[in-house]
Structure 1
Amino acid sequence: MGKLLKGAAVLLGAAAAAEAGGTAYFYRRTMKRYNAKVERTIKMSGVDWESYFPLMHERSGWMAEQPHEDVWITSEDGLKLHGTYFPGEEGTKAVICFHGYTSKGLSDYGSLSWYYLKHGFRMLLVDERAHGESEGTYIGFGTMDRLDGMKWVQWMIGKIGDGAQILLHGNSMGGATVCMMGGMDLPPQVKGIVSDCAFTSAKEVFTHVLHSMYHIPAFPMIQIADRLNRKKAGYGLDDCNAAREVRKAKVPFLFIHGEKDTFVPCRMCEEIYKNCASQKTKLIVKDAGHGESYYKDTEGYERALDVFIGGIMK
Structure 2
Amino acid sequence: MLILILITILLALVTLGIGYYFSNQVLRVNYAKQGSIRVANLENLEVFQDFSKKMRGEKFIVQSDFGYKLVGKFFPAKKSSTKIMILAHGFGGYKETMTAYAKMFLELGFHVIVYDHRNSGESGGNTITAGIHESKDMKKIVDYAKSKLDPGSQIGIFGISMGAATTLLYAGCIEDGADFYIVDCPYTDFFTEAMYRLQEEFSYIPSFARKVVAHLGNLFIQWRSGINILDASPINVVADIQSPVLFINTKMDTYIPPYMTQELYNKKQGTKFIRWFEKGDHGKAISLYPDEYKQEVIKFLANIHFNLDEQIYS
CA distance 1:59–1:125, shift in 2 (3 Å): closer
Are residue 248 (structure 1) and residue 264 (structure 2) matched? no
State how far apart, in whole Å, the 1-side matches of 2:93 and 2:261 are: 21
Contact 1:90 1:121 in 2 (8 A): no
CA distance 1:148–1:312, shift in 2 (3 Å): farther
- Cα drift, residue 13 of structure 1: 3.9
Contact 1:257 1:284 in 2 (8 A): yes
Are residue 124 (structure 1) and residue 120 (structure 2) matched? no
- The DSSP-based 3-state class of the residue aligned with 1:183 is helix
Give the aligned partner of residue 202 of structure 1: 190
- The DSSP-based 3-state class of the residue aligned with 1:17 is helix
- Cα drift, residue 265 of structure 1: 0.6
Give the aligned partner of residue 105 of structure 1: 95
Contact 1:260 1:266 in 2 (8 A): yes
Are residue 23 (structure 1) and residue 12 (structure 2) matched? no
Structure 1 length-normalised TM = 0.86
State how far apart, in whole Å, the 1-side matches of 2:80 and 2:250 are: 33
- The DSSP-based 3-state class of the residue aligned with 2:55 is coil
State how far apart, in whole Å, the 2-side matches of 1:161 and 1:285 are: 36
Give the aligned partner of residue 157 of structure 1: 146
Superposed CA deviations along residues 204-227 of structure 1, whole A, max 9, x for unmatched, are 211110111122342322222222
The ranges of structure 1 where at least 4 consecutive aligned residues each deviate by more than 6 angstroms after the TM superposition are 36-40, 56-60
State how far apart, in whole Å, the 2-side matches of 1:105 and 1:263 are: 20
Give the aligned partner of residue 180 of structure 2: 192
Of residues 254, 259, 266 in structure 1, which corresponds to 2:258? 266
CA distance 1:234–1:59, shift in 2 (3 Å): closer
Superposed CA deviations along residues 222-279 of structure 1, whole A, max 9, x for unmatched, are 2222222223323201113111110111000000011111110101111111111231
Give the aligned partner of residue 290 of structure 1: 282
Query: What runs of 5+ residues in structure 1 fail to find an aligned partner?
Result: 43-48
- Cα drift, residue 60 of structure 1: 7.1
State how far apart, in whole Å, the 1-side matches of 2:51 and 2:72 are: 19
Superposed CA deviations along residues 121-153 of structure 1, whole A, max 9, x for unmatched, are 000001101101110101021111111111111
Structure 2 length-normalised TM = 0.86
- Cα drift, residue 158 of structure 1: 1.2
- The DSSP-based 3-state class of the residue aligned with 2:294 is helix
CA distance 1:76–1:312, shift in 2 (3 Å): farther
Of residues 245, 263, 267 in structure 2, which corresponds to 1:275? 267
> What one-letter code is carried by the residue in structure 2 that aligns with 1:263?
Y
- Cα drift, residue 62 of structure 1: 3.8
- Cα drift, residue 39 of structure 1: 9.2
Query: What runs of 5+ residues in structure 2 fail to find an aligned partner?
Result: 308-314
- Cα drift, residue 101 of structure 1: 0.9
State how far apart, in whole Å, the 1-side matches of 2:37 and 2:118 are: 19
- The DSSP-based 3-state class of the residue aligned with 1:231 is helix
State how far apart, in whole Å, the 1-side matches of 2:117 and 2:96 are: 12
State how far apart, in whole Å, the 2-side matches of 1:63 and 1:79 are: 24
Instruction: Write the mapping of 1:1-314 to structure 2, written as runs, cut at 5 A.
Output: 7=3, 10-34=6-30, 61-88=50-77, 89-107=79-97, 109-184=98-173, 186=175, 190-215=178-203, 216=205, 217-310=209-302, 311-314=304-307
RMSD value over aligned CA atoms? 2.6
- The DSSP-based 3-state class of the residue aligned with 1:184 is helix
- Cα drift, residue 312 of structure 1: 4.1
> What one-letter code is carried by the residue in structure 2 that aligns with 1:74?
Q
- Could you tell which deviates more after superposition, 247-256 or 159-168? 159-168
